Amino acid sequence: MRGWVERALARFTDAVVFNSKRNEAECRMAGLHARTLTIYNGVEVVETTPASAEQILKHFGVPTGATLVGKIAQLHPRKDFPLFLRVAQQLAKRPGLHFLIIGDGPERARLEREVEARGLRGRVTFTGRLADPLPLIARLKVKLLTSLREGMSNALLEALALGVPCVVSAAGANGELISNGVEGYVVEGRDPAPFAHRVELLLDDPSLWQRMSANARNRAATQFSVERMVRAYEALFTEVLSGSPITDPSLSSDSPPRPSPRVR
């Protein structure tokens, strides 16, 4: 029903904005006949202090000085936390490595049982939903995102802005946020071994980690800043109100401008 309504309203809409090119392409393939364009979400992250993260970790009983690999997401089947745990199982032989699952949802009880079944008790911590997860994201050595389906992950943007290299599935817009081998790795398929291997590359090579961390911060600051997002929306609103063509290259679209703009 929602899809039908959106397609019907598109005929009376001057522009439909998506936050990823993947989402834009999928909706056009599904029959959305309208002028479309992509404006990426912006991220603005305030730096956190290491002490605040250590206090939270102590509260949850995480060993002091542990190397952390984590994921922040709703505990839902589309996020494929079982794959995350299979990767954790392959990496569990490494001393001092601990896994954080930040978030809550309908899968939590089942996932806690799976942690026990895979022999990961004491190596995986569920924090539940946190009012401010940024200190823990900043404390991660690697962010591991194993989603089956994904849109534009704001948590992934936050990790980039905090300089956390990421190992992600190829779902949704992940490949638009992460350039494979630059800010982290984009892994095709659902085999845990390639995910585990790429996490180990980052854990075992400090110079690689430092380079990807710097690349992540730079990409967030230049490609996904709030300022860039706001300028893009301002340019779009100006065009719709005035009827003049878009001048910002980030607002390019395959569909031509409509001759009689209407504000919606």
For the chain, the domains span 2-40+227-251, 50-223
Confidence band of 263 (pLDDT split at 50, 70, 90): very low
Question: What pLDDT, on the 0 to 100 scale, is given for residue 247?
Answer: 52
Give bridge partners of residue 100 from the DSSP assignment: 70, 125
**pLDDT, tens digit, for every residue of 82-101?**
999 999 999 999 999 999 99
**pLDDT, tens digit, for every residue of 168-209?**
999 999 999 999 999 999 999 999 999 999 999 999 999 999
Structural tokens at position 252: 């390019």
Q: Does the structure show a pLDDT above 50 at 154?
A: yes
Residue 93 burial by Cβ neighbours in a 10 Å radius (0-12, 13-18, 19+): exposed
Q: Are 228 and 248 in contact (CB under 8 A)?
A: no
**pLDDT, tens digit, for every residue of 129-146?**
999 999 999 999 999 999
- How many C-beta atoms lie closer than 10 Å to residue 221's C-beta? 14
Give the burial string for 48-57 (b: 16+ CB within 10 Å, else e). beeeebeebb
Return the CATH number of the domain spanning residue range 50-223.
3.40.50.2000
Q: Give Cα separations from 204 to 37, 54, 62, 67 (angstroms).
A: 41, 23, 22, 12
pTM: 0.88
* Helix pair angle (206-223, 192-204), 10° resolution: 100
Confidence band of 149 (pLDDT split at 50, 70, 90): very high
